[in-house]
Each structure stands twice: as C-alpha cells, then as structure tokens.
Homo-oligomer: A and B are copies of this chain.
Amino acid sequence: MKKITIGEASRKSGVKVPTIRYYESIGLLAEPNRSEGNQRSYEPADLRRLAFIRHARELGFEVEAIRTLLTLQDDPHQSCASADAIAKARLIEVEQRIRSLMALKAELELMVEGCGHGRVDQCRVIEVLADHGQCSHAHHSRWNEIGRLQGA
C-alpha cells in the first residue's frame, strides 16, 4: 500500500497539517501507523474521515457534535435520530443567527449612512454607539439569547 504522508493528507483533505495532528490529539482521528522514521502514514479511509470532519466544520458543527456524528457513521445500523437532532439543532442556531445578523446589518447601515464624514462630535457612528436608545431595538434582547455562540 502506498503511504500517505500528513502533508499529502492535508493537501487532499483541505485540513491543515497542525490541525490534523490536533484532531488526532483530541481523538477525532485515530492514531495512524508510523513509518520507520516515526512519520504518520495515512490510508484512504483516514482521508474520507478528514473530509467528513472538514465538511462538518464548514457547516459550523462543533467538534463534540462531529464526534457524535462520526460514531454514528462508524455504526451504520444505528438509528439516525441523533444525527437528525444534531442537524436540526444546528439549523435552528443558524436561523437565529441570521435573524440577529440582519438586525445588526440594519443598525450598521443606519450608522454608516448617517455619517456625514465630518468631525467626531457630529458622527452618527459614535453617537449611536454611545446611545443605545437610538437603535432600531431589533437587537436589544437578541444578543443574550444567542450569546457568543460561534460558527460560520
């Protein structure tokens, strides 16, 4: 069998080399065989797993969710209810986040449009930031709701 180096795996999967090692360290990816000189040697299945992980990360799934999805994938006879639940939860997150960002967009547009490019004391950007009362009120309660949740 042809040995796939970590660099090749990286190029083929689109996951950076240190990130692959990181995934191994947190147990998302099994420890691969090593060459004579202690270098990692991957197989096609590892590339598929990496692609799966990468795609899930692109879709904003957290590593813990991906871990669950991977164990599901490993045993195809299980019910896919968990996978479905994870995807649905992610969908709801994304929808909330879109709503939140739309409100922010409106807010920012107001600020930018209102800026007369004069001095700071007439600047609507600074003014609106200083006085929350001038907001469209669309985002007032939303922030705490979704918090600092990350993801694309």
Contact = CB atoms under 8 A, between A and B. Distances in A.
A139 to B, nearest CB: 6
A117 to B, nearest CB: 6
Contact of A119 (B78, B112, B132): B78
**Interface residues of chain A: helix, strand, loop or mixed (majority):** helix
Interface in A56-93: 56, 58-60, 69, 72-73, 75-81, 83-84, 86-88, 90-91
A4 interface: no
Q: How many copies does the complex hold?
A: 2
Interface residues of A, number: 61
A117 B75 CA distance: 15
A59 B152 contact: no
A107 interface: yes
Given A76-B120, A117-B81, A120-B76, A101 B98 contact: yes
Contacts of A105: 91, 94-95, 98
Contact of A126 (B69, B107, B120, B126): B69
Interface of A: 48, 51-52, 55-56, 58-60, 69, 72-73, 75-81, 83-84, 86-88, 90-91, 94-95, 97-98, 100-102, 104-105, 107-109, 111-112, 115, 117-123, 125-126, 128-130, 132, 135, 139, 142-143, 146, 148, 150, 152
